[in-house]
Every structure is written in structure tokens, then in C-alpha cells.
Structure 1
Amino acid sequence: MKAAAANLRLPAVHALLDDPACAPLLAQYGREQTVDALRALLNDVRARLLAAAGPAVDAAADAVADAAPPDTTAAGLLALLGERLRAANVSRLRPVYNLTGTVLHTNLGRALLPDEAVNAVVEALRWPMNLEWDIETGTRGDRDNLVEQQLRELTGAEAVTIVNNNAAAVLLMLNALASGGEVIVSRGELVEIGGAFRIPDIMARAGATLREVGTTNRTHFKDYAEAAGEKTALMMKVHTSNYAITGFTKEVTTAELAPLGRERGIPVAVDLGSGTLVDLERWGLPHETTVRETIAAGADLVTFSGDKLLGGPQCGIIAGRADLIAKIKKNPLKRALRVSKLTLAALEPVLNLYRAPDLLAERLTTLRLLTRPAASMQALADSLAEPLQAALGASYAVTVAPMLSQIGSGALPVASLPSFGLAIRAAGAKASGNKGSNPLGALERRLRALPCPVIGRIADDTLWLDLRCLEQDRRDEFAAQLAQLAPQLQERPAA
């Protein structure tokens, strides 16, 4: 039997609440939350003391009994209470360092907003805004009008409407224009994107009937022409944004399909997915069809994202013919899918940046990251290799290495961007096997446990930290927290 606990009597709840040291906690977290946390803490401490005083029944009980006893003084208990309250109120949404090599990382929030957009959102949070109020006439307005002029200039569209993401834009367009009718889509364009968003499924949810034409690799003009009939409500092209079909292939372009749509009186819609407003080749990136090019080719409607290549906040944009946009905006789903003032506050300054294309690569965060010279990332890696190696010690080998980044979020899926970063390998140990139990898995967990988590990727027995998304102004704060790795990682992992 273990030695009896020194003291099973704990201070009363009311006594601890009345202690002067508790006043700051009450002021910050409120009485109700503080009382609940205090009662839970006292129950846990009492359970530990009883376990230490009673017989050990298994290894877990032995561990509890052998652990250092909790400080049961008022000061000790209130210190533990403060730790609990702080931990319970830490935000679940936290900044991280994205060193995965994927610039538009869906799981890490996609596009980073430029300062102009951040400042606009802060103002929108602090002030009432003319979200749906026409200041000139003093009457109710349309929130889409806040950004419509910029989007019309940038795309050549007659009208636009904004919803909360591109999936919503596709759903709303189909429900408004094709519910009860057929929508013709090439089999080679029946995409599935992240989160199991599938074109056939969204078609069914919208109340439209999918009419597949062609084959996976080849679809011809005659396939559309033969399928178009009285039940056809829409002909739709879908950008294969997250894969590419190569080899013996055939696709009907928007420019080829548009005349058929006009002849039969059937609107032609194009889901561009990522969607870009400028020709990326200007900055040495692969060409991606722009919204303006798509509309100029004859598309009646185009849907695209605001938070991918456009570099703005999460939203979905529908641009095209004014009569079709008007019909879409009257659909009840539009209200359910509309964006808030924060989205519009962020989108407007981002669109304004496009009015100065010669400055875009400097001012638009997404484009700046995509066009970073490899030499600048190599210099950054050179400056960080030594402090990281010093923190990890002899257990790991850190080298500066070339690597390939990707754009991400389905944009230009086969394109890669030359980059540089840090390659970390376990010294004298094979790192393959279960990610969570090998040396690299242990290091990856420690990096994620830093105050600002560092997210890399493990492949080929190496932990890769691609520095494309770590800009120079973040270098010092990134380096400062590397020292916190040392205490946990000085022991050499077993081979």
C-alpha cells in the first residue's frame, strides 16, 4: 500500500474565490466560468490524492501515486486554476507557419490577404457599414453593388453576384437556371474536388438532371449537338482543376460550344474553379485561362473562387449576362448563400489592386509568394540552417536543399515552382515506418507543438520545410522559437 496522502482536506470553493489572488481570474474569465473550473480542479486534485493514498492496482495507479503531489495550498491551487482557464480560452484557430510547399493550402486557409484587405476588414468590424444602403439616394441597396463595378471592369461581364464560395456559386447557378431540366457536361469534366464535392452530386442537389456526353478522354462537338434538346437548360464546362488528362484526348472549347448555345437558345456556363483575373504568364507562371478570356470566348456565365488565384477572401463569384445574373439573384438560395460585410470589405481592396497590374506582384500576397525568386529562399534557408541544427543537435542532420512548391487548391495541378528550404534527416536512423513513432515523426510533432506551429511534410525519409511561404519579415520570429526544440530533442533517437 502506498503512503497515505499528507492531507485530503482542500480549501473550500468560497474561500478560494475570496482569496485576493483569485480576483484577476474573476475579472478576466467571469465568475461562472471560474467557479466551474475551480470545482473541476478540486475534484481532480482530490482524486489524485486518494489514488496516492490507496492501494496500487495497476501500473497507471503506480504512476499517479509516484508523481509529485499537487500543491494544495491556496496559492498553488489558484496557480493551477489560472493555467486551466488560460488553456480553456486559447483560440482553436491559430497562426501557423506553412512550410508544406503548397501556397494555396486548403487546410491552412488558402490565400493570405494583403494589408489593404486586412485593414478594411478591421474597419468593417468596428463600424456600421453601408452594406445594403445606398448613401446617395438614402434607400436600400444591393450588397453586390459594392464590388460589381470592379469585377465588370476586370472580367468584361455585364453583371456579377457574390456568394460564400465557388461550390455555392455552382449550386446556386444550377438551381436557378436548370432545376427540373437537363445540364450537358462532358464525362471528362465530372470532377470531384476536396471534401467529396462532386459535379453529379451537386447537380442532383440543385434539382437538375445530368446529361453526360462523350467519353472520359474524348468529347466532340457532335456529342453536345446531339444531346441538346427541349429539356436542356444549360450546357456546362467544368475546369479540371485538380487533375490533367493527357494523351489521346479531345475537348470542345468554350469558343466552339458558345455558337451552339446561341443557336439553340441554351446558356453556356463555365466553372473555372480557381479562376484568375490576369494572365499569369506575365510573371513567368504557367498560363491559366482568365475569366475575361472565358467570357470573350462566348460563355454566358462563369463561376470562380475569390480565395485562390485571385488572392482574396473566401467567396464564389458568378459573372456573365445581366439577364441570367438577375434571375440567379432572385433565387431564394441567394440569400442563404450571400456573403457578409467582412467578405466584401476584404474583396474590394483586393480587386482595386488589379487596377495597377504593374504593381500586383509586389502588393498581392498570393502572387508575391508564387513569384518569389528561388535565390531569395535559398538565402533564407542558408540563414536558418545553423540555428535549426544547433537546436536539434546531433540527432538530426539539417541541409539546405532545392525543392518544388505547388500552387495548390486545384490551381494548375501539374505545375511546380522551383523553391528552396531545409531538409531534415534522422542521423544514423532509418526514418521509414509509422510516422508517429519514428524520429522524423517525433520531430514533426515537436514542430507542431511550438507556440506558432510549424507545418512541413515528410517524404523519402526526410522532413521537408519549404520556405516559399516564409517571408523575410517573419524570419527572426521564426528563428527565435527554434531554441524551444532543444530540451526535448537532445537525446539521440534509437536506431
Structure 2
Amino acid sequence: MSETVDLSALPSVDRVLKSAAISPLLARYGRSVVTDELRKTLDEIRQSAREQGTVPGEDAVFASLTSRLEYRDRSNLRPLFNLTGTVLHTNLGRALLAEEAVSAAIDAMREAAALEFDLDTGKRGERDSHLRELLRELTGAEDATIVNNNAAAVLIALSTVGGGRQAIVSRGELIEIGGAFRMPDIMEKAGVELVEVGTTNRTHAQDYIKAVRPETALILKVHTSNYRIEGFTAEVSGAKLAAIARQAGIALLNDLGSGTLVDLSRYGLAREPTVREAVAEGADLVTFSGDKLLGGPQAGFIVGRKELIAEINRNPLKRALRIDKIRIAAMVATLKLYRDPDRLASRLPTLRMLSRPEPDIRMQAERLAPQIAKLLAPKGYAVEPCRCSSQIGSGALPVDTIASAGLRITASSGSALERLAACFRSLSRPILGRLQDGALVLDLRCLQDEAQFMRSLSEGFGNALA
């Protein structure tokens, strides 16, 4: 083949770059990038022509070049369909923001904003002031501040209140969070000496009382939000720990982890302790996340006694851990939604997806199954609606699941299912499910844009499975 194929019909780099058809690509990607990718495209076409004995036309060259440029420019950080069954998926960005939060963030990005400028006095202001009153209103705390995430909130709170001294923690609450970050390690970095009390499964009030020393600065209570110990167990309530701390003249820091501002049971979910309850129990400081159950952007909140919050804000770590105007704007908009709890589930994506009724999801599965079967059946895959279970994720309600529905895709072999899963990940808008019990399951709880989902499948499917 290589002796007879005529490659002279292929256009030169110069000829392609001078053609009118190349102008849109030059405008989008720039001349240097287009030229580089064009050379690679022509090299690949020449090699293929020698092997196959056919030379493609100029249209095919443009099509191949366009495809290369689009793939090169495509980011892995692009929208996808989370059909894994985990609503707050850490690896997929956790909470989706409400439209109000998205609009507020866009406004903050486009224009200058009074981030640290007091419009009333004309003097320098504080970025926390945009959130302080809202957080006081929603939690009942005296004061509040915000940092980059909840691990940062715990770090700076420990550093401020307990640096150089001791903190008492139950052995059953020495958690490890994602990425192998452990509470003892965070305490060490904060300059706090860990004093463990109780056992893995049972800790009593007397354990805390006996552990108090002159060098004790605080009691740390940690909500075990990413695991649960069941059976013969005992723990000390926040209210009782607050009384012990007051009697000893030390502080109580209650880390709620995911944290929630509302009673989740009103939405049909298992109950979690709320921030307002932790404050009312007497905790001096309460820390919690903004991007999990709260449904906002990544952030860590610290609420509690006014004098302690003031000390935290004076800690040099505060500047290193602060958040920018974009997230502050989005968080303000998110918190404002909580002022109207009757409409919260319809406006906050996290609650909307978590509280979505199973019958609605099942109807969607039954509607989509035959459409997807038409695409997959010719390739040897079977599709049927199925019942499945969703979970909240990101450390919230670790053993509780929510009844859901989805699509169960089967094939003649496990390798075929793995190829299909890889195909779904390669789409312009990837689709992520989970391989489970010999099938690829697509949990539809988080599927909001059904039309776009089918469009993505239809547009990318032929090439991906050919």
C-alpha cells in the first residue's frame, strides 16, 4: 500500500491556513495552536493513508483538525451528569448552587463590590460583615465568622482557643475526613495537645471531668457525620458537655461537620443536629460546612461567643484562610433562602434532590428506559428501570439511604459494562453511574435536565461505541 498511495492530494499546511474555512478555528484557538495541531493532523492522516491505501479529502482534514482542537481545548472540569446515587459527591463538587447564588456570584465577578468597604461610613469595612447578621439570625449565636472550609474552621478555632494547651476529646470522635485528614493531625497543627477520654464505643461525663487539668483549654465535641457506631454505646450530649465546660472554666467547641440550619426530618430525611440547637445547648463555638447540607459554596463557618469570634478574627491564620468576594456573594444569597423555609426545598438544589419523591424518579426511569434501549440494544446492552438507593454523601448520614429509581444496564460480560462506563465518561457531557451487582446503574435522583441528558447520549453515542 505504501508504494502506491499518492499523498500529493493532501493539502499543505500553508494552503489550509489560507483557506476561508479555517478562519473560525483561528479566531477561537489562535494561529499558533491551530498550526501545531494541523501539522499533527496531517502527519496522522499520512500514516493512516499509507496503511489503508486511501487519501481523505480536504473536508475530512478539516473535520479531523476540528475534532483535535475541540478535544485539546476540552476541560475535565466540565459539567457532567451525576447519576452515581451520591447527591453530595465530594469528587464531583458537592452542592449545586441555587440560581440566586449563581446570579450573585456572577454579579460579584463582573463588577467591583464593597467587599471590605463600609458604604455607610466611607471607611474600610470587614468582609465578614456581609454574613454576620444573617448567621446570627439563623443560628441564634452572638457572632460569626467564615473561612475556607470546615477543616480550616476547626483549625483556627483550636489554634485561637487552645494553642499551647490541651483539648479533651472522646476516643469515639477522633474522626478521619476525606483525603486522610485526621482530627488528631489537625489538632497537632493547631498547636493543641490531644487528651483522649473514654473508649471507642462509650464515653461518659465523668471521663471528661476527670481529664480536666490546669493546662486544659477546651472540650472538643466532634459530630461523627461520616460513620456511625451502633450497639453498646454511650456519648455525652452537647448540653451536658457545656455544663461541664462552664463548671471547669474552659470552652466547648462543637464541630458539627456537615452542619444544617434546618430540621431535615421535615423533608423526609433522617434528623441531624442543627446549628441553632448546638448554640442553644451552650457551646462556646460551633463549626460547620457551607457546601454540604447547607447547599452553598465551599466554606467553613464558626459561630458562638462574641469575644471568642473576635479573638479568632485577630488570629494571623484568618487572612490565610479567608474566602473571596465570589463565594461570599454566593453564600449570602444561599443563606437568605433560609429565611423562607416553606420554599427552601424548591429553591435549594441540595434539598430539592434529597427530598425528590421516589415515585417521580420511577416515572422518569420508565420514560427514559425505552429511549436509551434504542441506542444501546444494537450494541448488545439491555436497559430496564430499577429500584435503587441514593445516599447523601460528603459525610452526612453515612448509613442512611433514600429510596430512589434508575436504569439498570446489563451486558454479556463485565468488560463490556466497563467499556460502556468509559464511553459514558468520554461524552462531551460525561455521564457517571455506578457498577453494581453485574450491572451499570444510573440513579436518576440528581437528573434535572432530561432533554440535555438524551441529547448528550444521542450526539456522542455513535462515535463512542462504534
Task: Write the letter of the residue equivalent to 2:405.
Answer: F
**Normalization by structure 2: what TM-score?**
0.93
Shift of 1:33: 3.2
* Per-residue deviation, 1:420: 1.3
Spell out the pairing of 1:35-434 with structure 2 (5 A cutoff). 35-38=35-38, 40-41=40-41, 48=47, 52=50, 65-66=51-52, 80-393=64-377, 395-426=380-411, 429-431=412-414
Residue matched to 1:30: 30
| TM superposition shift of 1:24 | 3.1
Alpha-carbon distance between aligned partners in 1 of 2:163 and 2:179, rounded to the nearest angstrom: 24
Letter in 1 for 2:382: A
- Any idea what the Cα deviations from partners look like across 1:31-90, whole Å, max 9, x if unmatched? 3434444455566667x38x94xxxxxxxxxxxx3475566x6x7655544433332222
Are 1:3 and 2:3 counterparts?
yes
Partners of 1:425 and 1:272 in 2: CA distance: 41
- Partner secondary structure for residue 392 of structure 2: coil
Distance 2:67 2:431 in 1: 24
Compute the displacement of 1:456 (Å).
Answer: 0.7
RMSD over aligned Cα atoms: 2.4
Amino acid across the alignment from 1:184: I
In the alignment, which residue of structure 1 is the partner of 2:452? 477
CA contact (8 A) 1:393 1:489 kept: no
Output the CA distance in 1 between the equivalents of 2:171 and 2:108.
44
- Indicate if the aligned counterparts of 2:87 and 2:354 stay in contact, CA closer than 8 A: yes
Q: Which amino acid aligns with 1:113?
A: L
Does residue 1:446 correspond to 2:423, yes or no? yes
**In 1, Cα distance between equivalents of 2:367 and 2:427:** 20
Does the Cα contact within 8 Å between 2:117 and 2:125 map onto a contact in 1? Answer: yes
Partner of 1:369, secondary structure, is helix
State how many pairs are aligned.
Answer: 465
Instruction: Mark the CA change 1:280 to 1:27 in structure 2 (over 3 Å): closer, same or farther.
Output: same
CA distance, structure 1, for counterparts of residue 30 and residue 311 of structure 2: 50
- SS of aligned partner of 1:355: coil
SS of 2:144's equivalent in the other structure is strand
For residue 343 of structure 1, report the CA deviation from its aligned partner: 0.6
- Which 4+ runs in 1 deviate beyond 6 A? 8-12, 488-491
- Cα distance in 2 between the residues matched to 1:42 and 1:449: 24
How far the C-alpha of 1:288 sits from its partner, in A, is 0.3
C-alpha distance in structure 2 between counterparts of 1:67 and 1:383, whole Å = 47
Offset from partner CA, 1:291-322 (integer Å, 9 cap, x none): 00001111111110101111111111111111
**Residues 15 and 476 (structure 1 numbering): CA distance in 2 closer, same or farther, change over 3 Å?**
closer
Aligned position for 1:457: 434
1:13 deviates by 5.5
TM-score for the superposition, normalised by structure 1: 0.88
| Whole-angstrom CA distance in 2 between matches of 1:25 and 1:464 | 39
Amino acid of the residue matched to residue 408 of structure 1?
A: G
Identity %: 53
Contact 2:167 2:217 in 1 (8 A): yes
* Alpha-carbon shift at residue 223 of structure 1 (Å): 1.5
Distance 1:256 1:385, change over 3 A: same
Cα separation, 1, equivalents of 2:101 and 2:171: 39
What CA distance in whole angstroms lies between the structure 2 residues aligned with 1:39 and 1:231? Answer: 70
